[in-house]
Every structure is written in C-alpha cells, then in structure tokens.
C-alpha cells in the first residue's frame, strides 16, 4: 500500500473538532505583574482508553504510544477577526527564556509552566502544540494556516510497517490546541491554567480475539 505523508493540518484540524479542553483563570486580585506571567498547562496523550483491557487479554500498554520526546509550543497572536499570526515558539530543545521543561506525571500525562512576558498581559493568543516532530520556526507574522499545512517529517513508503512512526528515540507525532470553553483563543492573565489533549498523527486499531485456540499472526488493513 502506497502511504503518503500525513498533513499536520489534517490531524490538528481533527483535534480542534474532537478534543475537549478547558482553561481556568486563576483568582483575581493581582495588582502587579512581576517579570513574567505564569501560564500552566496540563497535557494528556492518547492511552487507548477506549478498549477495556483485562488480565485475560494479556494486552500491554506501549510506552512508545504516549511518550513525549520533544515538545514545541507555537504562540500565535489573534486579531479581531480571530486570525492567528506567529509570535514566538518555545521548545524542550531550546535554551534560555524559550526553553520549556515538561514534567511526566505517569499514564501519559505531563505538566509545565510557561513564563510569558509581561507584554502579553491581556493579549489574545492561541497555543498550538506539536510533539515528536520538528519544523523550522515560522516567520514572525506568518499565518497559523502555514503551520497547519506542513507535512509530517516521517514518511511511510510502500510496505513500511507503522512501527516506523514510533521510533525509540522519536515517538509518534502528536498535536493539540489549548482551548477555553470550546474556544481556542486565550486571554493571558496571571494564574491562567490550561489543559491540552494531544492526538496522534495515526489511528490506533485494537483487535480482540475471543475465539479459543485461534492465533492471529498478522493483520493487513
């Protein structure tokens, strides 16, 4: 089967339609903002929860499915027409004030706190996340559509196994957009807390065999 590159725009668009995220503003009463504005993110990755695995199935949870090896956060400034233009990025590979450090909490969940500059106070922004893939930074002012139309860097050729998408050091590409009450535009205020549910670039299909003495050696889709 001839597999083509998967467009990031497709699965980011799917995420926007399917994921349920929330963003809660912290208590008011901040009279002064110091050097930065903390924005806290709680992230979850796919864990195959739809299948109720039991001990009888002898199923195992593959760490490669949810491990984040690299995370990039693209910040977009949103205008009055709700159009996003690139402002800056943060990454686990970056240094200095553009570096972020995610903390694994187990079961495919992570947290981290972004230190936004004071100039972002009350700004309308959109946060787009890409995990386990790399792209050159967009130009400042570039449309968000440019990022969503980029192609994933890992390519499946004819007869390739899907395992190629989950390399030991790279992991499966995922993406997500932070939202607040079904809106993806977030107003930056001190103490804002967000949740992001990442989606994979590929779909997981689980096959459950309840037929005694029948062994499944391979499946072709």
The string of pLDDT tens digits covering residues 109-162 is 899 999 999 999 999 999 999 999 988 999 999 999 999 888 888 888 888 877
Give, as one character, the DSSP assignment of residue 55: G
Helical segments of the chain, H only: 8-18, 144-148
CATH number of 8-47+63-200: 2.60.40.2580
Highest mean pLDDT: which range of 70-74, 105-109, 161-165, 212-216: 70-74
Q: Does the pTM exceed 0.85?
A: no
- Cα distance between residue 127 and residue 178, in whole Å: 6
The predicted-structure confidence for 49-75, as pLDDT tens digits, reads as follows: 545 555 554 445 566 677 899 999 999
Which tokens sit at 175? 């993406």
Q: DSSP label at 119? A: G
Phi/psi at 167 (5° precision): -60, 155
Q: What is the CA radius of gyration of the chain?
A: 19
- Secondary structure letter of residue 94 according to DSSP: -
Residue ranges per domain, the chain? 8-47+63-200
Average pLDDT value over all residues in the chain: 79
Q: Whole-angstrom distance between the N-terminal and C-terminal Cα of the chain?
A: 9
């Amino acid at each position: 089967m001839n597999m083509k590159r998967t467009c990031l725009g497709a699965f980011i668009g799917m995420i926007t339609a399917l994921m349920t995220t929330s963003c809660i503003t912290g208590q008011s009463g901040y009279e002064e903002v110091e050097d930065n504005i903390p924005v806290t993110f709680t992230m979850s990755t796919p864990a195959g929860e739809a299948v109720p695995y039991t001990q009888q199935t002898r199923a195992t949870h593959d760490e490669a499915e949810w491990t984040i090896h690299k995370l990039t956060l693209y910040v977009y400034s949103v205008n009055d027409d709700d159009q996003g233009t690139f402002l800056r990025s943060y990454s686990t590979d970056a240094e200095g004030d553009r570096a972020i450090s995610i903390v694994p909490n187990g079961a495919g969940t992570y947290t981290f706190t972004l230190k936004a500059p004071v100039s972002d106070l009350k700004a309308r922004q959109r946060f787009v996340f890409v995990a386990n893939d790399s792209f050159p930074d967009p130009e400042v002012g570039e449309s968000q559509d440019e990022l969503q139309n980029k192609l994933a860097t890992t390519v499946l050729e004819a007869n390739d196994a899907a395992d190629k998408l989950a390399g030991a050091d790279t992991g499966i590409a995922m993406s997500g957009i932070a939202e607040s009450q079904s809106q993806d535009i977030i107003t930056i205020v001190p103490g804002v807390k967000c949740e992001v549910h990442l989606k994979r670039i590929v779909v997981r299909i689980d096959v459950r065999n309840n037929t005694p003495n029948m062994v499944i050696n391979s499946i072709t889709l």
